[in-house]
Amino acid sequence: MSDFFEIAMLVSFGISWPINVIKSIRTKSTKGKSLAFLLMIFVGYIFGITSKLMSSDFKWYVMFFYILNLLMVGLDIVLYAVNYTRENRAIGINL
């Protein structure tokens, strides 16, 4: 039963990431985003994955949701970097 609740938690958090990625693609902006926040979430998912790998009760179907969320947050970090560079070039700052 604990696997169900863990997956429910991951899906609940995970629903927001595709929405965030779509917003980043549409707006081409970093406005309202925090790189520090994204990086902390990314590191948190890595810790969660590490915990699962070290657990004696390892389940691939739970790991799938951790990895899916990690990939979505990673994509949002990449989009943040792309949009940050685009914004700074638009105002004449060379990075």
Over residues 6-21, the pLDDT tens digits come to 899 999 988 989 999 9
Which residues lie below 8 Å from residue 77, measured CB to CB, with a gap of 6+?
A: 35, 38, 39, 42
73: its two tokens: 């947050």
Quick one: which of 18, 3, 7 has its CA closest to 71? 18
Q: Where are the beta strands (DSSP E) in 1-95?
A: none
Kindly report, residue by residue over 29-47, the tens digit of the pLDDT: 999 999 999 999 999 999 9
Q: Average pLDDT of 50-57?
A: 90
For residue 64, how far is the Cα from the chain centroid?
14
Instruction: Provide the whole-model pTM.
Output: 0.86
Kindly report, residue by residue over 62-83, the tens digit of the pLDDT: 999 999 999 999 999 999 999 9
pLDDT of 80: 97
Mean of pLDDT over the chain: 91
